[in-house]
Amino acid sequence: MTTITGLGLVLLILMVLVGGKQGWTAFLSLLLNFGFLYFAIILVAFHVPPLFVTVTIGITILAITIFMGEDDLRTTITAFYSSLIVLGLILILIFAVEHWAMVQGFGTEDSDELEGMSILIGISYLKVSVTTTILSTLGAIAEAAMAIASGLTEILENHPERTNRQLIHSGMAIGRQIIGTTFNTLFFGFFGGFLALFIWFLGLHYSFGTIMNNKIFVAEMIEILISFIGVLITVPMTAWVMTKRRKSVVDNSMKIK
């Protein structure tokens, strides 16, 4: 048994123990997301336009993450709609920023690993960089949308008489409570992955100016900051979508009871 299989089994068992059926679907969603991510790489390798791959695989990953992470349709549909809107907005921003920053492909620090490779593969690395930045942000957007939507559903369930204003207010209140830690998730997620790179930078005494213009550093910072922006847009967007959908949410609550 390889280590990946072993860890996968441990995760599967824990997820089923804690979440029951929902835990099982959460595990399945992880597998499916892996499948679609790998599929995206294969598609791009076969010269399918990266922007098309981004949008289709992006929507698929959002749908998998949201609908398989939670059964309650009152939460998921709201979260899905709002994350789709955010995906559209973020796509425009990323497109502009990536063309401005030109951080596609590889940096000089990657030279060792590229040895013996043919890097002129005839696929625009700039378009690929748009794809990767968006895909790395999607999880955070879906997660924030679900946190807000599920909190608001709990509130609507207990207090269906709340007005739209109060609902947005509650949504922003939940947003304020989760924003700090959501930022920490993203910060640690990204910085953890780049510990080695920072040891390299500081070990070789890169100057502040060099780091601020370094291709890999800037690419990484763009990913973090775009994720932050994505999450920030998601909070009011989800609260707003919830006010539009409150009627069906409350009706469904009645039926469940």
131 binds other proteins (CB under 8 A): yes
Q: Which part of the chain contacts other proteins (CB under 8 A), choosing from 84-92, 192-200, 246-254? A: 192-200
CA-CA distance, 44 to 123, in Å (whole number)? 8
- Interface with other proteins includes 5 (CB under 8 A)? yes
Among 60, 78, 129, 238, binds other proteins (CB under 8 A): 129
Residues in region 54-93 near other proteins by CB under 8 A: 61, 64-66, 68-70, 72, 75
Nearer to other proteins, 42 or 88 (CB): 42
Q: Which of these segments, 25-33, 84-92, 247-255, binds other proteins (CB under 8 A)?
A: 25-33
C-alpha atoms less than 13 angstroms from C-alpha of 235 in its C-beta half-sphere: 19
Q: Please state, in angstroms and as integers, the Cα–Cα distance from residue 27 to each residue in 21, 115, 242, following that order.
A: 10, 37, 27
Interface with other proteins includes 257 (CB under 8 A)? no
Crossing angle between the packed helical segments 21-45 and 125-158, to the nearest 10 degrees? 160
Assess 4 for contact with other proteins (CB under 8 A): yes
35, amino acid identity: G
Contacts of residue 43, Cβ cutoff 8 Å, sequence gap at least 6: 53, 57
CA dist 241 to 124, 148, 188, 200, 249, Å? 36, 11, 29, 45, 11
Q: Is 234 a residue that touches other proteins (CB under 8 A)?
A: no
**Could you give the CA distance from residue 87 to residue 240 in angstroms, rounded to a whole number?**
16
Q: List the one residue from 55, 63, 236, 253 that touches other proteins (CB under 8 A).
A: 236
Out of 222, 241, 242, 249, point to the residue binding other proteins (CB under 8 A): 222
- Tell me the backbone φ, ψ of residue 123, rounded to 5 degrees: -120, 135
Whether 168 contacts 235, CB under 8 Å: no
What residues between 141 and 180 interact with other proteins by CB under 8 A?
142-143, 146-147, 150-151, 154-155, 158-159, 165, 168-170, 172-180
Binding residue for other proteins (CB under 8 A) from 84, 87, 186, 242?
186
Q: Does 103 bind other proteins (CB under 8 A)?
A: yes
136 is a site residue for other proteins (CB under 8 A): yes
